[in-house]
Structure 1
Amino acid sequence: MPNRAAIKIIQNRHFLTTTPEKSVRAVAAHMRDNNDSVVLVVTPEEGKLLGICTERDLAFKVLAAGLDPASTPVEAAMTANPQTISPEKPFGHALHIMHEGGFRHLPVVLPDGRPIGVLSSRDALGLEALHFFKELDQKEVLTEIL
């Protein structure tokens, strides 16, 4: 499972983007409305990745710092120039990058800098669950045979 390409994990999955001048309040509402905990910050013209902003960033860098969410641009809360992974790289490589960097989200980016999705450490749980259910099915088959 960790050998699956990143593109296979994120295909057909939506992800959120915003531009750096949007207010933290608008971005937080966008995240809430889409039930997502991360947004990629991109250039307005080309859509190239500038940064990543998570709900944790919003809480710690804006709310805990006493900044006004309505007037603070998301650029002030994002992590600029985040580590990324290319679509063909294995998911196991992404997990290693996230573990080493101490973060939970990793943008998947094309060679031209445009993001096509976001991997999450939670994706590993989905793979483990899939493996668990396959194993459970095999045990049931064996039980029936015996």
Structure 2
Amino acid sequence: MPNRPIRTIIQNQRVHTVPTNASVRTAAHIMKENKISSVMVVDGDRLAGIFTERDALFRVLAGGLDPDRTTMAQVMTSDPITTTADRPLVHALHLMQEGGFRHIPVVDRGRPAGMVSMRDAMGIELARFERELSEKQAIAEILA
């Protein structure tokens, strides 16, 4: 399934963005409320960066920064590597593995369209694995 188009992963996603002047606390609240581990940072309607849980931990908390006074522009990853919805999932996985990151913004003409994370990428594959494991356990119980 890694050749499925990214479009299938993001088709039901709600795009979560914050402006570059938003505070870290604002972004953290959005991430908590929506149970997501990253937000896209925008300048107008264009992608400017990405802010993740790791940024909050390493750049803000470990850096001793005030989350109410620190803006996204100060701690986001600027100009992140992106992909498009028409690319295969394997392309996004390759970019994440090569770059050593866990999220990749999906853009359409520079505008946020969705986000692919390692967890999202594993969704269908993980569900299939869990289903197969459950079936094997049921068979083992019958044979025992």
TM range (shorter): 0.7 to 0.9
The reply on whether 1:67 has 2:65 as its aligned counterpart is yes
Q: Identity, % of aligned pairs?
A: 50
Aligned to 1:127: 124
CA-CA distance at 1:138 after TM superposition: 8.7
- Is the contact between residue 15 and residue 112 of structure 2 (CA under 8 Å) also seen in structure 1? no
The residue matched to 1:97 in structure 2 has which SS?
helix
Ranges of 4+ aligned residues in structure 1 off by more than 6 Å: 136-139
The equivalent position to 1:103 in structure 2, one of 95, 101, 125, is 101
How many angstroms apart in 1 are the aligned matches of 2:80 and 2:103?
A: 10
CA-CA distance at 1:40 after TM superposition: 0.1
The equivalent position to 1:51 in structure 2, one of 32, 40, 49, is 49
Aligned to 1:117: 114
Can you give the 5+ residue segments of structure 1 that lack an aligned partner in the other structure?
Answer: 140-146
Residue-pair matches, total: 140
CA-CA distance at 1:54 after TM superposition: 0.3
CA-CA distance at 1:135 after TM superposition: 5.0
Q: What do you get for the CA RMSD once the two structures are aligned?
A: 2.2
Aligned to 2:140: none
CA-CA distance at 1:125 after TM superposition: 2.4
What amino acid is the match of 2:105? P
Change (3 A) 1:57 1:132: same
TM-score, scaled relative to structure 1? 0.86
How many angstroms apart in 1 are the aligned matches of 2:39 and 2:74?
A: 14
Can you give the 5+ residue segments of structure 2 that lack an aligned partner in the other structure?
Answer: 137-144
How many angstroms apart in 2 are the aligned matches of 1:124 and 1:135?
A: 18
